Amino acid sequence: MPTMSEQILSRVAGRPVRAGDVVTANVDLVMVHDSLAPGIIRILHQELGAERVWDPQRVAVVIDHVAPAASVQTAEKQQEVRRWVRAQGIPNLFDVGRGISHPVLVEEGLAQPGMLILGSDSHSTAYGCVGAFGSGMGSTDIALALATGKTWLRVPETIVVRARGTFGFGVGPKDLALRAARLLRADGATYAAIEWHGVEQLSVMERMTLATLSIEMGAKAGIIPPTGLDLTGPLVPTVDADAQYQEVVEIDLGQLEPQVSAPHYVDNVADLSDLGRVAVDVVYLGTCTNGHYEDMAVAAQILAGRRLAPGVRMIVVPASAQALQRAAADGTLATLLAAGATIGTPGCGACIGRHMGVLAPGEVCLFTGNRNFRGRMGSPEAQIYLASPAVAAATALTGYLTDPRTVMDGQPVVSQ
């Protein structure tokens, strides 16, 4: 019986397909972001000779990678993208401030269960949070999909990450995903899809944490069965008891400690308690991986009524305008601001090291994002540690890498 990838790719290929098959498939939705749009537009028109996208309704353009523009060049290129969107009659343009493509396409109902969604961003595995097959591709592949409505791919084998039990206090989806990266390593799921089982208790954006980090293990897609989300789509994939998997990895959530990915590789993961004292200059809460409302709420719970440690900056960049609005409406935002954090425009922010919090040589950043590669957020001499929003907030309180369980639930913060 088929895996979720086989179920979805059989639908879009128009015939039953199995892992290993090379198929041409109809694409349900193509996402293009500002960073690569100018190049994609050039390939579409000049190299492929196509005048129009195949279906403007099935294209979404998001200005999130440098939003708002940081220079005259980026402003001009965004202007060019907006003109192109109008000329092509594409209805779905999400402009500066609407947020990061991945949560936005989910919030807008464009990303649906059972779809094949291609994005010009590697974290397009994100769409697995609604049970879609989401995959990142480069500019030429995206231009071909825009021209033809089709793509080609090899149907992936599937690796299952099976979670058991429930998260303990101060531990969450980021810790699960980093634990999986620690076990599978950065190349462990290359050419494969990951299915995340046993995580039905998570909200759709918490599921996005798992889906986005799937690419950090090399996966082509990272799919969570859309159980409990009350979503409709062209196909609702289900976990088949008889599906054939390449590998099954079991993780006991109840035993999970806060996980931290140390510089400069995402799979360089350790239990926080094994890392010793790491002083931090900046705490950055944001990205498609952990800039969601839920992430800001966890941080606010820890920071409520307290102040950041002296000398520590905390930058919060909500993943979307909806997340920001919700945080503003229920007091989460006020709590973060009162603690001394500051807020940036919803979008990718400093994740790609272009603006809104670029790091200096020697600086240490506790980052809730998805990549700690050398130079990712600015100087190649900076150090990036990846961890959960709870670890981020606890670390902001003390100024050094801190287990959130030591500062939560009314326990005093010990200054050292």
Closer to another protein by Cβ: residue 38 or 340: 38
Stretch of 113-121, 236-244, 249-257, 276-284 contacting another protein, by CB under 8 A: 113-121
If one asks whether residue 187 binds another protein (CB under 8 A), the answer comes out as: yes
Closer to another protein by Cβ: residue 122 or 301: 122
Q: State which of residues 5, 35, 322, 398 lies at the interface with another protein (CB under 8 A).
A: 35
If one asks whether residue 66 binds another protein (CB under 8 A), the answer comes out as: yes
Q: State which of residues 378, 389, 399, 404 lies at the interface with another protein (CB under 8 A).
A: 378
Closer to another protein by Cβ: residue 19 or 396: 19
Stretch of 3-11, 69-77, 102-110, 322-330 contacting another protein, by CB under 8 A: 69-77
If one asks whether residue 19 binds another protein (CB under 8 A), the answer comes out as: no
Stretch of 36-44, 161-169, 317-325, 331-339 contacting another protein, by CB under 8 A: 36-44
If one asks whether residue 20 binds another protein (CB under 8 A), the answer comes out as: no
Q: 61 near 92, Cβ under 8 Å?
A: yes
Q: State which of residues 52, 57, 73, 109 lies at the interface with another protein (CB under 8 A).
A: 73
Q: State which of residues 65, 102, 207, 405 lies at the interface with another protein (CB under 8 A).
A: 65
If one asks whether residue 71 binds another protein (CB under 8 A), the answer comes out as: yes
Q: State which of residues 102, 174, 354, 405 lies at the interface with another protein (CB under 8 A).
A: 354
Name the CA radius of gyration of the chain, rounded.
21
Residues lying near another protein in the complex (CB under 8 A): 22-24, 34-36, 38-39, 43, 47-49, 65-66, 71, 73-74, 77, 119-122, 124, 136-141, 144, 150-152, 154, 186-187, 190-191, 218, 220, 265, 352-354, 371, 373-376, 378, 380
